Each structure stands twice: as structure tokens, then as C-alpha cells.
Structure 1
Amino acid sequence: MSSLIAYGLTAEYRSQLLGTDVKRPRISWKLKSDRKGTLQTAYRIQVAEGDADFESSIWDSGRVASEESVLIPYAGPEPSSRTRYFYRVKVWDQFGRESEWSEIDWWETALLSAEEWQAHWISPESQAIDPTAEPAFLLRKSFDLSRGDIVSARIYATAAGVYELYLNGAKVGDEELAPGWTSYNKRIQYQIYDVTALLREGGNALGAMVANGWYKGRLGWENKSNHYGDRRAVLVQMHIRHRDGSETVIASDESWKAATGPVLFSELYDGETYDARLERKGWSEAAFEESSWSSTELLDLSYSRLVAQENVPTRVTEIMKPVSVIRTPEGDTVLDMGQNMVGRIRLSIQAPEGTKITLTHAEVLDKHGNFYRGNIRTAKQTVVYIAKGEGVETYAPHFTFQGFRYVKVEGFPDQINGLPLEAFEGEVIHSDMQKTGVFECSDDRVNQLQRNIVWGQRGNFLDVPTDCPQRDERLGWTGDAQVFAATALFNYNGAPFFTKWLRDLKADQLSDGSVPFVVPNILQGYNSAAWSDAATVIPWALYFSYGDKRILAEQYGSMKAWVDFIRNQGEHEHIWNTGFHFGDWLALDAKEGSYMGATPNHMVTAAYFALSTRIVRDAARLLGHEEDAVYYGELAERIAAAYRDEFITPNGRVAAQTQTAHVIALVFDLVEPKDRQRIARDLNEMIVDNDYHLTTGFVGTPFLCFALSDNGYHETAVKLLLQQTYPSWLYSVSKGATTIWEHWDGIKPDGSFWSDDMNSFNHYAYGAVGDWMYRKIAGFAPDARGPGYKKIRIEPDYTGGRLQYARVSYETMYGTAKTEWTFIGDKIELTAEIPANTTAFILLRGAMADQVLCCEADLSDAEGIVSFR
């Protein structure tokens, strides 16, 4: 058995990828080795079509001399639609060892051209069922399979709306809220399901249930619906492959039948009403009597916009049990889930027919302990279940989600004597991303902050990166996403998630380069610095975290167009001083009655103009666009010079005396080296003079601690993090928060609330401090010389002595990396573990090389140490 093993194979970041229209998927693998310092020197990939017979493989890379093991493009023949491809890998290392072949993995293609769709978009006949009716539509088709020699069966399906599929009475797949939210007028995802095990010889039936969702439902705070269309529809195509190679195709058409059922109302913001008395038992089974059902009709919707599922599916990822039942001073009966979560309640009940149970959802109780919904605004977040009276009934909403910790229960049988906790479960719902990062330190309050960051991400990464999951908004705000992206990509593998969302950003970008405030764009607002810069910042973050050049190539035109748009604004080529901007949103130095901080908007626009231009310059270099690299490099220099002329005084001070103004000047590298020390000192004094409190908003907060740590004031940054009184990160923790708040004082010290107008208690933007915690406290980061953690920087800053230890574990594309430092008496012990085929640069502050031991040996004798000084 070889002690060198290739394992953990993925194609396009996923193992066993069922259904993709990526024609050149990229293959990745990890290495295990029993020798320290193992580096791959060569690899070989084999791909077989249809089965795992590699003797007749369709592509054999041969031995390729390379250390690369991440995102290697398949380079074989053009793939066929609806075909499974098996692949395996072997590797060689610098010790002359050759591994055995890895375990086999596979990907399967979807429909690779629009012409392959035989199905039609169908909806209930409008004369029989009102297309604007609130109840969810049921559509069904029965069919016979006279042959039982089924080898495989796949369904390719989507909806104008959100849908669930059923086959022979069983729900198909475990996805929720499919097809997800894209810029539907340009792109609609379809899903692929393996239903081989659900088919039977003889009679079968397919069923689809479809509700409004994002396509037709209410979105935004202006009570507008029908953003993409005014009729729900489904598109279903099933291919059944028989042993002799022949196929049977079942596709949606006019022969399908339609009705309504028990889902009387379902909206993302408002909840769902379900009358179990109206259930149509067996409606997705072959024997169901459908004579009373109406006909369906075809809708003229596009096929060219269809793309195979890009993001990881939205699923139920965790089951939560309520921790207590509260009887409020006002007499309400309220479940406490113990955690502000996003998802739904599953209810189990035995009750007489017609019993009506109402579940109303909220994030917090008020200072008197009463149920509080003011910050939910017009979103109802209410679920109603009407019992059918037949034994134990179990129900969870189908087509909605709520943001909540507390649930007011009304109508439960014998409720006055207390609720049985076992009758309720909380189902946590979000995009089912792979968890990758873990951070912990010696301060339990900071550990709670990290949990709040993670829960905020889980709640708001529900197919798109939303700003909040509870009120009448839940939109993909670009500014929130870009400031949080680096933190997000530590906690979870967000490559498929952001790849899909960036394609929507590009789709919604205007021909002049304008980038919307929200993606998908239902607000028709465009072009705010720091918000629209998601077009450049997030592709670069993906490259830095995963070494993903393809996403840079895909988005490169969009990135350039955005920078060119900025340059064309106003009279000053290098200072963007026109138009509306959010500025340092929700900063505490704002004028009374304003949401915008005191930092001049033009400082923010100029800083982000410089940042985005540098990103485009660097992307151009990586992609081989040398003329662009020179052009944008020179432009970036002129922007920085114009920034200094406009916003830095002749004696080297920042013109605007705000924390954020100093932060962006330092972190965005917009000041002369001779002025950096003074500006950093001024920022430090601002923090110290304010008793280690911040005043920053959405723009300044993510970078505040970086500005301090990187310029000699790490101890101030740590004190700032550990500050518990308002305003601070730990203030919300001290008030019992389990997610990140939108406002520093969402709940004020006296227990009252910030304005109901905009007071989310699950709003991840300020959680962007996590990136600093991982990089500066734990000291763990990818190295720019080897993006994607091919090269790792381990550079903890433990100065100040306020923390006794910090540790990180992170699942890179190469394997698990870990680092931990801890004080042992007056010494520091640092443990680092990096994956095979990577290298790490480790900086030990205050240490002398001749006094450092590695595995009880001097550095010169320690195995795996390449060099030291």
C-alpha cells in the first residue's frame, strides 16, 4: 500500500456532481503522505465515459510534470449530454514515489443545448384556474412503463416560481425553494434529479407543486409583485434509460392535469397557509382519480435562458429543538428556539378537524419580555395550519422561510396548560455549502461572536447573499456581500455560491458598465461605491481563496466595464464626485436623522475606484492581458495621486477627521510612505480617545482592525475587539445576540430598540471583522504568492497578552490546515499543520531562530523545514 495517496476528488468543487453544463469541468484532489514536506511533482488523470472502464478511457492526460492539484481542466473530447464521466488520479512526489490510483469519482452532464428540451412550460388552463389565484398549483401526469428493465432515470426540471416534484407519492430530492433566485429574465437554473429508485414497472405518476417564490411573489418594501412574470409555470423532462440503450421520455405538455390543493397561500415574506382538509391523497400516484382536474396550457417562456444548477442546493441542514416555552407579560405563548435562525418550524399535532394553529415568527422580545415584531415591517412571517383531524399530523411550510428565534403559538390544543416542546422542531435552511473554517480563542465572548458570524452567514446565504432574512427585504445587496466575502470564504466553501451570484451580477449589469445595488436586481438602483464594487472585489476574493482563474476570466469583462464606467463619471477623470452613494452606511458619526456617516462620500468613491482599478490591473496580468495591465496600472497610480491631492493635506494628515477616512486611506494604500505613520497614529488616538470605541459604518468597519494591526497598533485593535460597552462587537454579545446585528445599538443599553424602520438582528456586514480575527489573531491566511492556500502565511500576533491562545482549522482545496498558538508561562508554543503539496511561511514575532525548536529539534535539523532565518 502506497504511503502517498490522492483522495478527496472533486469536479467543479463537488464530489459526485449530478448534472452540470460546464463542458470543461475542473478536477481537484488532495494528497496524504507519511513524509513531511511532501510536494507533488507530477500527476495523471484518466476519464472514462458511461462506466468506470478506464482501459478504454476517453481522456488520459498522461504523466504531467506539475505541482498543480487544484482546478485542472478536463481536456478530453467534447462531452455528451446526459452522460456520466468517471475519473481518477495518480500522483508522483519529490521522493520518487508513485501513488496508486485514487478512488473513483464522477460528474454527470446535463442538457448541453436548449434544443434538447422536449418539455413545454405548462400552467393550469386560465379559464379553469385563475392564474392570479393564491393557492399553489398542483400539476400531474400519469404514465405506464411496460418494461421493468430500467437502468437509470433523470428528471430535468425548473419553474417560473418555486416548485416541488413528486414521483409515485414520494418527494423528489431534498432541495428546498428550487430553482433558487437568479436574474430570471436572463438566467433560470434547472435542477437534475436521479429518480431511478422511484420508478416501477406499470403505472407511475409525476406531480409538481408550484408557488410564487421570487419569480412572481412580493419582493422589496414597496409591496410589488410580478417582478419577472405574472404566471407560474413548470418545466419537467424525465429520461428513462433501458437496459438495451433505448429511452422513454416523459415531458410536461398539454396532457398534464391541474388543480389546487392544501397550500392556500405562500409568500416568502408573509408565510404560508395550509389547510390539511384540502389535501388530495395520492395526487402524485398513478391510481389517483383525476377526472375532476382541469387541463393545462402552454406558456411561451424561454429555453435559451436555462442553465443547469450552478449553486449548491438549498437544503435543511440542521434540526433545532426549542429550549423553552415562555408566557409573556401580555399573555402570549412563545417558543424560544435559543438561536436566531432561518428556516421553518415543523409541527406535529393531533387535533380535531378544523383546528387552526397559527405560528408567528420574530427575532427578539422587547425589554418587558413581550413578543416584538416592529422590526419585521410589513412582512407577516405567519404560518397557519388547519388540521384534518386524522391522527398525528406533521407539517412544515413548503415555499417560504422565516428569520426568527421566537415563535408565538396560537390555537394549539390545550395550549393554556403549556406547549409540548416535542411537538415542534426548527429546520435550519440555507445553501448547503461545505463548512471549511473553525476559529477559537481564549475569550468565550469572542467565540460567541464567531458563532454569531457563522449563524449570520447561514441565515443570509440562502441561494443569494441577502442583507437580512426576516423583514420585507431579503435582497442580494452588493455592498454587504463584498465587505463580508473574505470572512464568508473562510467559514464555508462559497465558490459555487458566489460563482452563480456573480453571473447574475454580470447579467444585470448595464451595457455602460453600471452595476446594481442588489443582485438579482429588482430595485433598479445602480452605481454606488463599495456596493457596485462587488463586481471586482468578489471575483478577486474567489481567486485569492481558491486560485480560481476561470472566475476571473468569466467576470473580467464585467470588472473592466465597471472601472471604465467610474472613469467616465463627472468632470474629474480620477475622482468620482457625481451621483448617489451610500457612503459609510450606518456609521455612528452620521448627522442626526441620516443613515450616511460623516466620511465624505467622495473619499469613499475615490478609494474604491483605486481598489477596483488595481484589481482589474492584477487580473489582467494573471490572464495575460498585458496591454490592459499597463493601462489599468497607470490609471491606478493616477487615481491614488488624485486621492492624495484631494484628501491628504500638505502636512500629511487626512482631511476628514473620521475613523473611516483614516482606515480607507491606510488599508487601500492611498498615502505616501512618509505620511503613513502619522495617519496611523492619528487613527490610533481617535480610538484611544474614544475609550476604545468605534464610530465606523459598513465601509470602515471591515478594515478598521487591519488598519491598526498592520501599522503598529495591534494591541489597540485587540482592545477594540474586546470592548464590551456600546458601541462594539461584543456589546451585542453582552445583550444575548446569537447573530450579527445591523445596528451597533439594535437594542439600546436601556433595552429599547433602534428605529423599526431598519433594525435587523441578523445582518452579517459587521461580522466582516472575522477576516481580521482569522488572519491577525490566529495568524492564518493564503499567501499572495500562492493563492488558494497553495502557499500559506502563518503569522499570529499575540502581542498585548490579552488573549492566551487562538486556533484555526481550515479545509483548503489541498487538505486540512491547522494552526494554534498558546502562552505557556512566558513562552509561546505554536503548532502548525499544513496539507501535503503546500508550503507555509511562518513568522514568529519576537523569536530568535537559534532559540526556536521544531519537534524538539533545532530548525536546522527539523524535518520539513525548507529554510529559516
Structure 2
Amino acid sequence: MNNFSVTNLRVNYRRNPLGIDDYKPRLSWEIISEKRGFIQSAYQIEVATEKGFQSEATWDSGIITTEQNIHIEYSGPTLKSRTRYYFRVRVWDNQETASDWSDPSFWETAFLTPTEELKANWLTAAPRLNAADQDKCDYLRTEFNIPGKVVSARAYATSLGLYRLFVNGMPADDTLFNPGWTSYNKRLQYQTYDVTSLIQQGVNAIGCMVGNGWYKGYLAWEGDKEFFGSRRSVMIQIHITLDDGSESVIMTDGSWRVSTGPLLMSELYHGEYYDARLERAGWALPGFAADDWEKVVVHAVPESVLVAQENEPARVTEIIKPDTVIITPQGDTVIDMGQNMVGWVRFSVTAEAGTVITLEHAEVLDRDGNFYTGNLRSAKQTVTYICRGGEEESYEPYFSFQGFRYVKVTGVSRDQLTNQFSGHVIHTDLEMTGSFRCSDELVNQLQQNIIWGQRGNFLDIPTDCPQRDERLGWTGDAQVFIRTSAYNMNVVPFFEKWLKDLAADQETDGRVPHVIPDIPAAGYGSSAWGDAAVICPWTLYQCYGDTRVLETQYASMKAWVEYMRRQGDNEYLWNTGFHFGDWLGLDAKENSYTGSTPKDLIATAFFAHSTDLLAKTASTLNNTEDEKEYRNLHKKILSAFRTEFVTPSGRVASPTQTAYVLALMFDLLEEKDRPRVAKMLAEHIEENGIHLTTGFVGTPYLNLVLSRFGYTDLAYKLLLQTEYPSWLFSVVQGATTIWEHWDGIKQDGSFWSDNMNSYNHYAYGAIGDWLYQVVGGIDLKKPGYKEILIRPQISEHLSWAEASYNSIHGNISVSWKKFNEVSVEMLVTIPANTLAEVIVPVSQYTEIRENGVQLDQVIGVAQVKPMESGCSFNIGSGSYRFTFPI
């Protein structure tokens, strides 16, 4: 009898995805075993078009002898469009015992050849309704008859702009902000909806609202709009299968009608203006009289490539009730949600017709307690609602989101505010995979701030901030935070989609735009920003063990390195062009955003780092010629860096924390010089009163470097510092997300400049990487956590800590707790089909016990050996309880 099972089947990281266009989807699963040290010896996959697997399988992999249980490409007959494929898995252990078949999971294809199969027309409103100065959103509709009982129905839809699809008056599903933000003129997503339960025999109606969104609306800080196009439009194709086997296809064509409605303005930055008196009841229901609606305009198909939805969609993921209602010193009525969040407010009110209700949104109050919107710049973040009157009426926005904690409300009596207003948290619906807690509640709040910063800024793309007139996919912010983000959430589909747009928007010379999707006003080609082209794919490969992202992005990665190589008059130094440098570094000169670390040092450091990662990528992909080329290039960059930026005695010529950190993190120094430079970094921090001076470039690596070179105690002190500048300074100030500036709110309560002062900006949240790796002790030895490193660095500054990470192989957890300052209990869980090396700070293994048994006598423990920093041993899967003296 077996004691293990197969569970959590996934396709391209997702559970039961609906509407994918991948000919070779990647299949993964987890194994649950009661036995320690479980290793899979073989697997078998069956794929069928029937859930019960009664008929012949579409594909039977046969018994494949391997430990691999992740990213196994479907290798059966060519997949068909609009087809659901069920699959199940069984595995064998090393005793040749087989598991039962897993419960079946599925994936469903969309259009595998969309240019041939998507026949629907693109519809737009008449020019007078779709003009540049026309703020009103479009409402489109049609009716159709279904002659029989519906067995299944799928709607496929997309738009230029944002759209909301309704079937017989009901939303097609709960997803928001479709079709998402891509480089629209090159890549445009379409969505798949299961509308089987919404379509009925007889007359049906389809309604669709379309707003400006990212496509046509205002973007960036110069007040410009229509970066991608000037005409909102929509395409919908619905396939309906009846019980007699026949199929009806409904699609957008010239018979559809269009009008305006109550949504008079919707902009991502500015909010919405909705006049409920203009509502047309039943406009998306059968039988609605639309004789006065205009005919749609059929226009040419966009040139962009249509792709099925690649990322998880955006949804409302949490609803928050107001914390308090306050009256400010200036007399404003303000709701405090208690949390800086991203999304919108839903409200229900009873008021007379024509009553104007306004909701203004802000992140903070000023030091006098008044409502503050200065940091929003030109973004209005205002929702205006005009009541239709009569019975209770409710509203929430359609195509705009706000970044806020505080909501100034006018037009509503105070007695309606608390129970009838709620904050709806919206972001890309990514699976939470990580957690971290410790004995210091300020650090726990910091971790929550990191999570909320990621939730708020992972809305279809990784944005810098969610509130002001920006909200762009800054490449530098994304690359410094991606490792932390991958602990917190399953981010692969999210970044795979974004990286494809990076490659699409990359210039022919290899330059990478500062923001993705590209907004020309932002610019191109800065070190540490453009390096996202290399760092992000490599990080995803490390965290998830999937070479597909490297294969997909390889040309882009190589183009960026070659671009850097061509800059300046020295092939191995990057000392020309524009660079952000150590953005917002605290050692900046007066009135400068950039720290004092030389920009050419930073640029050359990242040139070396990306070249090193490219060589490793080439090796991973078995591209031996490129591997040799880029390893040789890397050596020459190192030599040039040392000649230019390191003294003959081994000192980094620029004595800044960021210069030291990059030189050490990227292994730019000779081995013999590294301990000395690490000591100089530590002394610099101590001489600054245990304070950092780093900006966006240096901060993510600071504590990692300190721990790597034996200064973990100092890293803990930096973490726990509450005085400015520090991670906990903002926490002490009451922050619930990560700030853009170390002193976004100064010690006297005043603000940093309105020009650039976000209170939800995740870059400095990259300290989360160190929390998981060093404090929690969870790191990887091999890509995808097939081999795991468990090495918590226990500190006198904390009495306990616990971390967990749900890897693609399963859950990894570590917790440690000190007892009476003399001993430590450490609980470790390792998922099936993986191995782990555990390192504890005890030199004699005889002092280590597992459930009371001496280590060398424990089943599942192997290769016990002393090392300079303690004792190392290997364990297989299972749960363990270790105790050892401090």
C-alpha cells in the first residue's frame, strides 16, 4: 500500500486555466508523502478530452523514469483550439510503488491560430462619440436568439481601451481592467469567459462598456493622452454549443448599436464622473428599446498580435470596512480606511435626485491632520456620483483605481459613512506563497507593508506607484524587487507577460525603455533599469527552475548586453549616456535625486553583472559558443572595472556604501580584497550611527552583502534601526506601505517635495529578500528549490522567527525559537521530491538533536560535517524538530 499522493496539478503555473494559446503547456504537480526522504523515481501523465478518461487518451506519456515533477511539456498530438483537456498524473517512489491517479485537472485552449479563427469585427463608436475631447464611455449592445438548450458557451473578447462585458445584464465574470496593459500596437491580449450559465434558450443580450484606460487615456506626468491610439474599440466572439451538437457563433458586426450612458468620464488618474439620472435601465437585457442608439462603425483590424490572456487577471481580493470617520481641522469629513490600499470605494446611499457625491482620495494627512493631495501632482483621484434619487443606490468605479488610505466625502450624511462605504482592494490576483513573522512587531509591520506595496503596485504590470500621475512599469523598480516578490507571491505569469512587452518595446539597438510598456516621455537605456532585461528572467529561472523564460527572453537579454558593450570609447567600461545612478541615495548633493556613487561605476558594475548572468544563461541553454563569448567578455569587464574603480591596494576608489555593496555583491573585486572592502562598508555604516545612505541601487543588496561577509549582527542592527534613515522609521511614523523616500514624512511631520513623494513604492521593500533568506533561513541551492538551503542566522536581537514559502515543489517552512538564551528549537519542513542542506551555528554535531535523537542516528539525515560557521547536514523531505545550544 502506498502512502503518498499527487496533488496541486498546474498548467503553466496556474490551476485549471481557461483560454490559453500554448501549443506545449508545462505541467507540474506536488507530491504529498508521509515518508521522510521521498524521491519520485518515475511519472505517468494521461491527457484526455473527457474528465472520466473512459475513452482513449489524447496523450499517454508512458512511464518516464525521472525525478522531474515540474515544467513537463505536453508532448502529445497537436492541440486543438477551443478544447478542454483533462490530465491526471501518477508517480512511483524509489521502491517502484505507484501512487493512485491524481484527481483530474484541466486546461482549455483558446484560439491557437487567432488570425484565422477570430472572425469578429472591430467596432468603434461614431467619430463624434469617440473624439479626442469626448470623455463619455461607450455602451454597445446586441440581441440574438438561441434555439435550443445551451451545453456550453465561451465568450472571447478584447478591446482598445478597457472593457466590461455583460451577458443578459450580468457581468461575464469577476475580472477587472481587461484586456490589461500591454504594448498594444505590438501585443494585445484577449480574454476567455465561461458564460454557459448566463446564456439561455430564446432571446439573449450582450452589453459592453468601453473606457479610455491605458490605451487612450492620460499617461505620465506631462498631461498627454492617446499614446497608443485615438479610437476606443472592441471585438467579441461567442461560441455556443447546444444539446443537439450544433453551434451558434455570435460576433461583433455592423448590426450592433452604441450610445453613451451615465459614465461621463473615466480616467485611470482622475477617477470617474457618473450621473445615475442618465441610466438606461436594462440596457444589457433582452427587449431593451435601442432604436435611438447609433449604428456602430466597423473599422480595420489593429496590426498588433492577438494573444490569449497570459497573466492572472485583476480582481477585488479583499473588502475593508472604514476604520474611523474623522472631521479634520479644516472641517472636511474624511474616512480613514486604516490601510494604504489600491482599488476603489463602493458605497450605498439614499439621497434626493441630483445630489452630488464626491470622493477624493489621498494617502496621508498633513501634520495638522488635514486632507493632503499635494503628492498626487495632476492626478485628481476623484469619483463624482450624481444620485438618481428614490430608493437606495450603490456605486463603485468601472475603469479607474485609486491609491489611498483616506477618502474625503462630500454630499453624504455622516451616519451613512461607516456601514455603507467599503474599500475594495484590487490587484492582479496572484497566489500568496510566502509568509514571515518574528518577535519584533515593528518588523512584522514592515513585512506587511512590503506585502501591501506589492499588492498595490502589481496591478497588471509592476508599477512604481499607484496614486499620482505616473503608475508606470519602471524597469529599475521591478528588477530590484523581483526576488522579494517571488517569495511573497507566485509571480511567474505576471512577469512573463511583462517581459514579453519589454522585448517587444526594446529598441533595435538593444536599448531598453525606462518603463514597460513604453511611454516615450520616460526615455531609454539607463544602467540598473535596462538590466531588468537580464536580471528578471534569470531571477525567475532561479526561483522556479523553468528554462522557458530564459529561452523566450534570450534574444532580449543578449541585445541589452550588446548595447552596453557598444557604449563609449572603451568596450569594457560604460562611461557615457544618461543614467539614474543610485536613485534617491541619501548621499546625494543638494537638490539632486541621485546619490554620490559615480554613475559610470554603477553602469560598469551592472554591465559586468548582466554579462555574467547572460553567460550563465547561455550555459543553462547549452549555447556553448555564447557562453564562451560572454565569459570572456565578463573577465575583461572585471579587469577594466578594477583598473578604473579600484586602487592598486584593493580599495574601492569611491568610498560610498553603494559602491562597496555593488563591488561585493557582483564579485567585482579580487578575492583577496573582498574582506577588507566588506570591513570598510561595515565601518562606514557604523560611523554613520548604524544608518544606511543607499538609494534604489544599493539598498536591495546591502544586508545581503553584510551577512555574506560575516556582518549579520550589523545587518540586524540596520534592520531594527528606528531612527531616520531606516526601514522602520516609516513604520514608527504609522506607514502601512513602503515609502518612496526614507523621509517621505519628515521627523517634524512635514513632507518631502510634492514633486515625487509616493507613500506606496515597493523598491525599498526589497529587504524582504534578506528577511526570508537570512532571518527565516529559506534559500535555494538549485533552481526551483529542487535543492534547498536552510540556514537561519540567529540573532540576539530576536527571540524567534518563522518563515514559509510555497515553492513549486511544495511548502518549505522554518521556525526557530530561543529558550532561556541557552538553546534553540528549530522546526523545518521540506517538500517531497526535494533535498535540503541545513546549516546551524553549532560546531559539534553531537550537540544537535532531532526529536531528542543525536543527529548522526536520525533516519533521513546524511553527510554531517563541521564547517567554519557551524555544522552542515543534509535532509530529505519531511518535518523535523532540531534542538541545539546557542
**Which TM-score applies when normalising by structure 2?**
0.96
Structure 1 segments of 4 or more deviating over 6 A? Answer: none
Superposed displacement of residue 426, structure 1: 0.2
Matched with 2:153 is 153
> Shift of residue 180 of structure 1?
0.5
Q: Which residue of 1 aligns with 2:465?
A: 468
User: Out of 798, 801, 804, which is 1:806 matched to?
Assistant: 801
Cα deviation digits, residues 76-113 of structure 1 (max 9, x gap): 01100000000000000113321000000000000111
Alignment check: 8 A CA contact 2:48 2:59 kept? yes
Pairs within 5 Å for 1:594-673 = 594-673=592-671
- Give the structure 2 partner of residue 677 of structure 1: 675
Alpha-carbon offset, residue 318 of structure 1: 0.3
Deviation at residue 303 of structure 1 after TM alignment: 6.2
The alpha-carbon deviation at position 130 of structure 1 amounts to: 4.8
Q: CA deviation at 1:147?
A: 1.5
Q: Could you tell me how far apart the structure 1 residues matched to 2:34 and 2:404 are?
A: 48
Asked whether the equivalents of residues 317 and 428 of structure 1 are also in contact (C-alpha less than 8 Å), the reply is yes
Query: Deviations along 1:671-699, whole A, 9 cap, x unmatched?
Result: 01111111011100000111100110000
What's the offset of the Cα at 1:51? 4.5
List per-residue Cα deviations over 1:288-331 (Å, max 9, x = no partner). Answer: 01111100011213265110000100000000010000100000
CA distance in structure 1 between the aligned counterparts of 2:100 and 2:81, rounded to whole angstroms: 31
Aligned position for 1:194? 194
Check conservation: 1:48, 1:58, Cα contact below 8 A: yes
Give, in whole Å, the separation in 1 of the partners of 2:843 and 2:194: 57
> Structure 1's 56 and 389: CA in aligned 2 closer, same or farther, altered over 3 A?
same
Distance 1:576 1:767 in 2: 28
Cα displacement string for residues 34-84 of structure 1 (whole angstroms, at most 9, x for unaligned residues): 111101010000001254425400110000001000111000011000000
Match of residue 135 from structure 1: 136
* Match 1:739 to one of 725, 737, 740: 737
**Contact preservation (8 Å) 1:174, 1:315:** yes
The secondary structure found in structure 1 opposite 2:205 is: strand
Residues 129 and 136, structure 2, Cα contact 8 Å, conserved in 1:
no
**1:579 paired residue number:** 577
Letter of the structure 1 residue corresponding to residue 16 of structure 2: Q
- Once the two structures are superposed, residues 636-689 of structure 1 have per-residue CA deviations (whole angstroms, 9 ceiling, x without a partner) of 111111111111111111100111010101111100111111101110000011
Matched residue type, 1:836? A
Report the equivalent of 2:563: 565
- In the other structure, the counterpart of 2:857 is 861
- Equivalent position SS for 2:749: coil
Q: Equivalent of 1:496, from 484, 493, 496?
A: 493
Deviations 1:768-823 (A, max 9, x none): 0110111011111111xx21111111011114x11111111111111111001111
1:516 match: 513
Partner AA of 1:490 in structure 2: Y
| 1:197-228 alpha-carbon deviations (Å, 9 max, x no partner) | 00111110001000000000000000010001
Query: 5 Å matches for 1:523-542?
Result: 523=520, 525-542=523-540
Matched, 1:848 2:849: no
Partner of 1:839: 835
Q: Displacement of 1:255 after TM fit? A: 0.5
Contact 1:39 1:838 in 2 (8 A): yes
Contact kept, 8 Å, 1:583 with 1:599, in 2: the verdict is yes
CA distance in 2, matches of 1:323, 1:661: 44
Distance 1:463 1:649 in 2: 46
Once the 2 structures are TM-superposed, how far is the Cα of residue 420 of structure 1 from its aligned partner? 3.3
The answer to whether the Cα contact below 8 Å between 2:130 and 2:232 also exists between their aligned partners in 1 is no
**Aligned equivalents of 2:724 and 2:730: distance in 1?**
8
Residue 482 of structure 1: aligned partner: 479
The corresponding residue for 2:450 is 453
Separation in structure 1 between the aligned mates of residue 435 and residue 148 of structure 2, nearest angstrom: 51
How far apart are residue 385 of structure 1 and its match?
Answer: 0.8
Stretches of structure 2 lacking an aligned partner (at least 5 in a row): 866-886
Deviations 1:565-611 (A, max 9, x none): 11011111111011000000000100001101100001100110011
| Superimposed CA distance per residue, residues 419-472 of structure 1 (whole angstroms, 9 cap, x where no aligned partner) | 530010000000000000000111110000000000000000000000000000
Question: Residue 151 of structure 1 aligns to which amino acid in structure 2?
Answer: V
Amino acid aligned to 1:335: I
Partner of 1:93: 93
**CA separation in 2, counterparts of 1:509 and 1:130?**
31
Contact persistence 2:131–2:231 (CA under 8 A): no
> Contact (CA 8 Å) 1:132, 1:230: kept in 2 or not?
no
- Whole-angstrom CA distance in 1 between matches of 2:761 and 2:322: 23
What does 1:404-415 correspond to in 2, within 5 Å? 404-412=404-412, 414-415=413-414
Task: Please report how far the alpha carbon of residue 856 of structure 1 lies from its aligned counterpart in structure 2 after TM superposition.
Answer: 1.7
Give per-residue Cα distances to partners, 1:152-186, cap 9 Å, x unaligned: 10000001000000000101111111000000010
Residue deviations 1:735-769 (CA, integer Å, cap 9, x gap): 00000000000000000000000000000000001
Cα distance in structure 2, aligned partners of 1:443 and 1:127: 60
Q: Distance in 2 between matches of 1:61 and 1:848?
A: 48
- Partners of 2:88 and 2:132 lie apart in 1 by 50
How far off is 1:850 after superposition? 1.5
Shift of 1:127: 5.4
Alpha-carbon distance in structure 1 between the residues aligned to 2:859 and 2:70: 26
Whole-angstrom CA distance in 2 between matches of 1:745 and 1:126: 49
Secondary structure, in 3 states, of the residue corresponding to 1:44? strand
Please give the residue correspondences for 1:538-553 in structure 2 after superposition, counting only pairs within 5 Å. 538-553=536-551
Q: Percent identity?
A: 53
Report the RMSD for the aligned CA atoms in angstroms: 1.1
- Distance in 2 (CA, whole Å) between partners of 1:341 and 1:469 is 9
Report the secondary structure of 1:630's partner residue: helix
Provide the TM-score with structure 1 as the length reference: 0.98
Question: How big is the shift at 1:140?
Answer: 0.3
Q: Secondary structure at the match of 1:868?
A: strand
Listed one character per residue, the Cα deviations across residues 808-865 of structure 1 (whole Å, up to 9, x for unaligned) are 1111111111001111121121110011111111000134111111122122221221
CA change 1:129–1:858 in 2 (3 A) is closer
Q: CA deviation at 1:125?
A: 2.3
Alignment of 1:187-266 (within 5 A): 187-266=187-266
1:359 aligns with 2:359: yes
Amino acid of the structure 2 residue aligned with 1:133: Q
SS in 2 for 1:46: strand
Read off the aligned partner of 1:841 and give its amino acid letter.
E
Q: Determine which of 804, 815, 829 is the counterpart of 2:825.
A: 829
CA separation in 2, counterparts of 1:707 and 1:316? 38
SS of equivalent residue, structure 1 residue 397: coil
Gaps of 5+ in 1: none
Secondary structure in 2 aligned to 1:539?
helix
Q: Distance in 2 between matches of 1:269 and 1:321?
A: 24
SS of 1:334's partner is: strand
Q: Structure 1 29/54 Cα, relative in aligned 2: closer, same or farther at 3 Å?
A: farther
Separation in 1, partners of 2:17, 2:131? 39
For the Cα contact (< 8 Å) 1:131–1:232, is it kept in 2? no
Contact 1:117 1:303 (C-alpha < 8 Å) held by counterparts = no
Residue 714 (str. 1) matches residue 712 (str. 2): yes
In 2, Cα distance between the equivalents of 1:639 and 1:765? Answer: 28
2:815 to 812, 815, 820: 820
Distance change >3 Å, CA 264–CA 835, structure 1 → 2:
same
Q: Deviations over 1:250-292 (max 9, x none)?
A: 0001100000111010000000011111111111111101111
